Amino acid sequence: MRIKELRQHRLLTLAAISGSVVALDLLTKAWASRNLAGRTVEIIPVVLSFTYTENTGAAFSFFQDAGTFLSLAAMVALAVIAVSVWGPRPIGEVVGLALIAGGALGNLTDRLTRGDGVFDGPVIDWIQFPNFPVFNLADTSITFGVAALLWASWRSR
């Protein structure tokens, strides 16, 4: 493949994966807000529950009420990802970056659309394991994206 075709392939991969993550994340958050508000549903007793919560911070409830900072950090991360994918990258790295971008966009959408101000909306979280903070598909996507990047880095050595 020529460089232009490779770049287009990387950008299409980024768009397809991150777009799918955003769509699934927003659909599941809408479902959670309609069906879980005010209650917990045990899916696998003592292992997995669905619990609706709203988080104004980051993962593990760090940085509470820091929506503007977290939104700006997500936008910087998205810009870095876009620039990174523009250059030559192995497909494993592209997939990892796309998963991170999709997760960042999913949570950023909540911050932009669910608050009174520009970046102050809470993020909907709804998946819970025992002794672990409640999270969502966007958070899961970011975690798997980081794991994919680590795997790609390890394989390249």
The answer to whether residue 121 scores a pLDDT higher than 70 is: yes
Q: Name the catalytic one among 25, 110, 120, 139.
A: 139
Instruction: List, for residues 84-106, the tens digit of each pLDDT value.
Output: 988 888 899 999 999 999 999 99
Q: Where are the domains of the chain?
A: 3-156
Residue 58, sorted as left (phi over 0), alpha (psi -120 to 50) or beta, turns out to be beta
Instruction: List, for residues 24-83, the tens digit of each pLDDT value.
Output: 999 999 999 999 999 999 999 999 999 999 998 776 667 777 778 888 999 999 999 999
125 in active site:
yes
pLDDT of residue 154: 87
Across 4-11, average pLDDT: 86
120 in active site:
no
Q: Do residues 122 and 50 make contact, with C-beta atoms less than 8 angstroms apart?
A: no
